[in-house]
């Protein structure tokens, strides 16, 4: 089977004070439909830039990105906007509208495309049920815990029935208990809705829990990729090995107590 998402020779640089730094140095990744594909690496490795290139929130300098039959990198602005509706995205800081209720936040992508009111209500109610927040429909984000805010973010990302969900450090601002609950929810969404998930994280624990495959990103280069269990049983790259060491220490120290309520 050919890959569902194919990234080939992706390069991206930024200009800072006249100097150009290459952040992505020729990235090749193949992701199958239904994968939960982890991209792990330390801070500054280029993870967010990579994930933002996938839906062209950042324009790549060169390289190709294909999702299904669509050459994302060949789309004009209008076609890109339409295709983007089927690519959900969630963020570390949730990016909710604080002045809107939970309902309005989730409905936002639907109102943008002028979905009829009744249809919108039905869809949002379903999503609220999926993420376990039906009782918070009229609450404002300010009154929610971090875990609940991310549930709203996830529901909003699913409003247009995406085939792909991009997750950029979605659990990195959460305590361990909320993190586990959100990871389980992502796994459920992958399983029940068949959404392919690309999960960016600097937390090995998170990737190990739900990703079937991972790629290690080190300074703008993929240094290894494969099945999660193979990579972390025997990492070949420097970052992979450091990650594993940190992970082992984390397992010894961490007691998984506390939690902010989810
Ligand atoms: N818009 C930008 N302009 C200039 N430099 C940027 C921009 N976005 C990211 N960078 C730089 O690219 C590098 C990688 O950043 P990022 O993709 O955010 O890494 P990560 O998500 O792995 O922490 C960093 O050195 C960062 O400073
Ligand atoms: Mg980042």
199-210 pLDDT, tens per residue?
Answer: 999 988 899 999
E strand or H helix that includes residue 88: strand 87-91
CB 23 within 8 A of CB 60: no
Residue 13 β-bridge partners: 22
pLDDT band at 36 (very low <50, low <70, confident <90, very high): very high
What's the pLDDT tens digit per position in 126-167?
Answer: 999 999 999 999 999 999 999 999 999 999 999 999 999 999
For ligand 1, atom 18, the nearest C-alpha belongs to 48
pLDDT at residue 259 greater than cutoff 60:
no
**Which one of 16, 23, 223 would you pick to mutate in the ligand 1 pocket, going by the greatest count of ligand atoms within 8 A of its CB?**
23
Q: State the angle between helix axes of 117-131 and 146-157 in degrees (0 to 180), rounded to the nearest 10.
A: 130
What's the pLDDT tens digit per position in 53-98?
Answer: 999 999 999 999 999 999 999 999 999 999 999 999 999 999 999 9
Under DSSP, is residue 109 helix (H, G, I), strand (E, B) or coil?
A: helix
16 close to ligand 1 (CB < 6 Angstrom): yes
For ligand 1, atom 6, the nearest C-alpha belongs to 14
**Mean pLDDT of the residues in the chain:** 93
Collect residues with CB below 5 Å from ion ligand 2: 47-48
261 close to ligand 1 (CB < 6 Angstrom): no
For ligand 1, atom 24, the nearest C-alpha belongs to 44
For ligand 1, atom 16, the nearest C-alpha belongs to 46
What's the pLDDT tens digit per position in 88-134?
Answer: 999 999 999 999 999 999 999 999 999 999 999 999 999 999 999 99
Ligand 2 centroid vs 90 CA: distance in angstroms? 12
């Amino acid at each position: 089977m050919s890959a569902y998402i194919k990234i080939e020779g992706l390069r991206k640089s930024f200009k800072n004070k006249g100097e150009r730094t290459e952040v992505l140095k020729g990235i090749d990744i193949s992701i199958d439909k239904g994968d939960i594909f982890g991209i792990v690496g330390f801070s500054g490795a280029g993870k967010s830039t990579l994930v933002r290139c996938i839906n062209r929130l950042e324009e790549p300098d060169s390289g190709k990105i294909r999702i299904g039959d669509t050459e994302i990198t060949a789309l004009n602005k209008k076609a890109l906007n339409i295709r983007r509706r089927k690519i959900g995205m969630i963020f570390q800081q949730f990016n909710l509208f604080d002045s809107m209720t939970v309902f309005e936040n989730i409905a936002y992508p639907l109102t943008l495309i002028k979905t009829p009111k009744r249809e919108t209500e039905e869809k949002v109610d379903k999503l609220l049920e999926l993420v376990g927040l039906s009782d918070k429909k009229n609450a404002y984000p300010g009154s929610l815990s971090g875990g609940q805010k991310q549930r709203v973010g996830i529901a909003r990302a699913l409003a247009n029935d995406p085939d792909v969900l991009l997750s950029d450090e979605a659990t990195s601002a959460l305590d361990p208990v909320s993190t586990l609950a959100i990871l389980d929810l992502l796994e459920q969404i992958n399983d029940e809705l068949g959404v392919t998930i690309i999960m960016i994280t600097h937390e090995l624990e998170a990737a190990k829990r739900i990703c079937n495959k991972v790629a290690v990103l080190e300074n703008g280069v993929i240094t290894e990729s494969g099945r999660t269990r193979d990579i972390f049983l025997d990492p070949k790259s420097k970052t992979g090995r450091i990650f594993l060491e940190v992970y082992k220490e984390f397992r010894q120290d961490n007691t998984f107590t506390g939690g902010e309520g989810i």
